[in-house]
Structure 1
Amino acid sequence: MSKPQIALVTGASRGAGKGIALGLAEKGMTVYVTGRSTEVGSAKGWDGATLPGTVLETAEEITKAGGKGIAVVCDHADDAQVAALFEQIKEEQGRLDILVNNAAYIHPQLIEPKPFYEKGLDAQFILDVGLRSAYVASWHAAKIMAEQKSGLIVFTSSFGASCYMHGAAYGAQKAGLDKFAHDMAVDLEDVNVQTLSIWMGPLVTERAIIAAEVHPEQYTEFMATAETPEFIGRIVYAVANDDKASEISGHTVISAEIAKDRYNISDREGKFPPSYREMLGSPNPPNPAKVY
C-alpha cells in the first residue's frame, strides 16, 4: 500500500473525530474535516453546558500539529452536500486515501437510563446521520478509491454493537457499521481497498468528561483508563500503512487489542489501554459465505 496522503474524517468539530484527525495530522497528512459547527454554542453537553470546538478550529489545530487541515462545513443528512464534499476532494487532491466515518447524531437523552420508548422519537436520527450517512460517504469514497486501486474506509463503532449500550437505536447503528465494513470489504477486495470497523473503548472527549460528572457511577471507573481520540487516529494510520491490511479487511476489531497486538501503539504515558472484551462482548468473526 502506498503511503497515505489525503484523509477525510467526518464529524470532526470535537470529540472522537477531532482527535482522530489530529492523530493523522501528526503523520503530516492533509486531512479534510467535516462538521456543522462554525460557532461555539451549537452543541451542548449532557448537563446542558456549551461544548467547545468548531470544524474550523479543528482544521487550524491539524495544521499546527504538522498536517494540513481543510474544513468543509457539511450536514451529512444532506446527500447533495456530501456529494459536493467528495467532488471538492477529487478536484483539489485527485485522490483519497483514508475515509473515517465518524459523523453521528447525538441525542440529548442518549445516556439517560430510560427505555427507548421513554426517550424522544428523534433518538432514531442516529440511523440517518450515523448509519445511512456512513453508507453514502463510503459510496462516494469507494468510487475514488476503486479508480486509484488503493484506500481504507474506517467506521468508528463500539461495544454497543454487541451489548446493551445507550438503547436500541445506538446499538443498531453500531451493529450496522460493523456489517458495512464486512460486506463492503467483499465488494472492494479486487480493487485493493480495505475496510475496518473499530470498537473504540471509552474515550476522553468533551462529552465523556461531562458524562462522568453527570453519571459518576457509570463512567468514573471507565474514564480512569479511557483512550484518547488521537490514539484511534494513530491506529487508523498504522492500518493504512500496513502492507498486510488485507488480512483484516472487513473485520471488526477492538482498538486496545489491535493497537497492542498488531502495531505496538500505546496511548497516554506510554500505557496500553485495556480491552473490555470480557465485560462487554466480542466482535463477530467474518463469515466467508457469499450469496449474490
Structure 2
Amino acid sequence: MDRTLTGKTAVVAGGTRGAGRGIAVALGAAGATVYVTGRTTRARRSEVGRPETIEETAELVTAAGGRGIAVAADHLDPAQVAALARRVEDERGRLDVLVNDIWGAEHLFKFGVPFWDLSLEDGLRLLRLGVETHLVTSHALLPLLIREPGGLVVEVTDGTAESNAAYRSETGLFYDLAKWSVIRLGLAQAAEIGPHGGTAVSLTPGWLRSEAMLEHFGVTEENWLEGTAVDPHFAISETPAFVGRAVAALAADPDRHRWNGASLSSAGLAAEYGFTDVDGSRPDALRYIAEVVYGGKPADTTGYR
C-alpha cells in the first residue's frame, strides 16, 4: 500500500459524495488524516436531498488506510468554517492539503435554457454555493496551510481553462460563470501562496460516474456500461477514484510546485504520473468530448481510454 502521505493532514471540503469522496478516500489510501466536511450527515440532509453522508466518507477513508474525521459544516457560514480551522489546528497543528470541492448546486441549473429564462434566485444561490463557499473556506484555512512550505490547494471544477474557453451555452450562464470562477480561484491562490512555498491548482474530472450520475442512468457501478444504451458516449465516463488518485499523486509529488497556477485534468495527471482508473484504463473525457462528441462522430472510446 502506498503510504506516501502518512503524517499529512488534509481537509476535503465538500467530501460527502462524488469527486470529493473519491479524493478523500484516495488521500486516506496514501496514509493521510482527512477531515471530511459537508452539510449532509446521518442526522440531517442538505437541500440537495441525497443520502450520502460525511460520516460514510470518513469511514471509507479509514477503511482505505488513513484516518477519516467527519466534520459537519456549512461552508457559507464563516463561523462554522473558522471553527473547522481551529479544530484542525488544535488536533493536528498543520494543514498540508486543502481541497475545495464544495458544490451542492446541481438542482439549481437547467440545460439549454437562456439566461433570462433561468431563475435569478436559483442562479445567485448557485454562485454562492459554487464560488462563495470556496472563498470562505480558503480565507479560514490558508493561514494554517502556509505555516509550513509545501502546502497544496486544489480547486475542483468542471472543465479546464482550455476546454472552457468557449461559452458552454448548454449549461447556462450561472453554471459557466461558477466553474470559470473556480479556475480563476486556483490561479489567484497560486499567486497568493506561491511566495510561501505553497501550490494551488484547479482540477477537473472528466465525465464523472458520481452517485447521482449512476442514478440518472439507472445503473450501478457494477453494471455501469449498460448506461451506454441511454447515451453511448457514457462509455468514456470515469469513477471518482480517478480524480482522487490525481490529487493523491499531486500531494505526494515533491516537485508539485511546477504546477502552481495550472488548470489540470484527471486524464492529464494520469498521463504524467502513471495512475489509472479502477478498471486499469485512463479515460480522457475532455479530449473525447471535444473530438468525438462535438465532432459529431459515432461513440468509440478507442484511443481515449
**TM-score range normalised by the length of the shorter chain:** 0.7 to 0.9
Offset of residue 24 of structure 1: 1.1
Q: Is the 8 A contact 1:197 1:252 kept in 2?
A: yes
Name the amino acid aligned to 1:142.
Answer: L
Aligned to 1:28: 31
Number of the residue aligned with 1:289: none
Corresponding residue of 2:239: 228
Question: 1:208 aligns to what?
Answer: 213
- Name the CA shift for 1:278/1:266 in 2 (closer, same or farther; >3 Å): closer
Deviation at 1:212, TM superposition (A): 3.3
Give 2:12's aligned residue: 9
Root mean square deviation, CA, Å: 2.7
Show the counterpart of 2:248: 237
1:134-167 CA-to-partner distances (Å, cap 9, x unmatched) read: 1221222221122112210001111257541521
Matches for 1:179-194 after TM superposition, within 5 Å: 179-194=184-199
Q: Deviations over 1:90-114 (max 9, x none)?
A: 1100001111100113142534432
Residues 209, 237 of structure 2: 8 Å contact kept: yes
Q: Which has the higher contact order (CA 8 A, sep 6+)?
A: 1
Identity across matched positions, percent: 33
Determine if contact 1:41/1:51 at 8 Å carries over to the other structure: no
Consecutive unaligned residues of structure 2, counting only runs of 5 or more, are 220-226, 292-305
Q: Secondary structure at the match of 2:83?
A: helix
Partner amino acid for 1:175? W
The verdict on how the C-alpha distance between 1:153 and 1:222 changes in structure 2, with shifts beyond 3 A counting, is farther
Say which SS state the counterpart of residue 215 (structure 2) adopts.
helix
- Residue identity matched to 1:21: A
Q: Tell whether the 8 Å contact from 1:13 to 1:37 is kept in structure 2 after alignment.
A: yes
The residue number in structure 2 matching 1:79 is 78
How far apart are the structure 2 equivalents of 1:222 and 1:93?
Answer: 44
Question: Contact 2:16 / 2:52 at 8 angstroms: preserved in 1?
Answer: yes
Partner of 2:123: 123
Q: CA deviation at 1:18?
A: 1.1
> Offset of 1:33 from its aligned partner?
0.5
Give the equivalent residue in structure 1 for 2:294.
none
The equivalent of 2:280 in structure 1 is: 270
What pairs up with 1:138-153 in 2 under 5 angstroms?
Answer: 138-153=138-153
Summarize the Cα distance change of 1:127–1:34 in structure 2 as closer, same or farther, 3 Å threshold.
same
Per-residue deviation, 1:84: 0.7
List runs of 5+ in structure 1 lacking aligned partners: 282-292
Q: Report the secondary structure of 1:86's partner residue.
A: helix
Q: How big is the shift at 1:88?
A: 0.6
For 2:107, what is the secondary structure of its paired residue? coil
> Which one is further off, 178-187 or 81-90?
178-187
Q: How many residues align?
A: 275
Mapped contact 1:3–1:241 kept (Cα < 8 A): no
TM-score (norm 1): 0.85
Alpha-carbon distance in 1 for matches of 2:258, 2:65: 30
For residues 81 and 257 of structure 2, what CA distance do their matches in structure 1 show? 28
State how far apart, in whole Å, the 2-side matches of 1:162 and 1:252 are. 15
Residue 59 (1) aligns with residue 58 (2): yes
Change over 3 Å in CA distance of 1:264–1:168 after alignment to 2: same
Match of 1:172 in 2: 177
Aligned-partner Cα distance in 2 for 1:144–1:18:
23
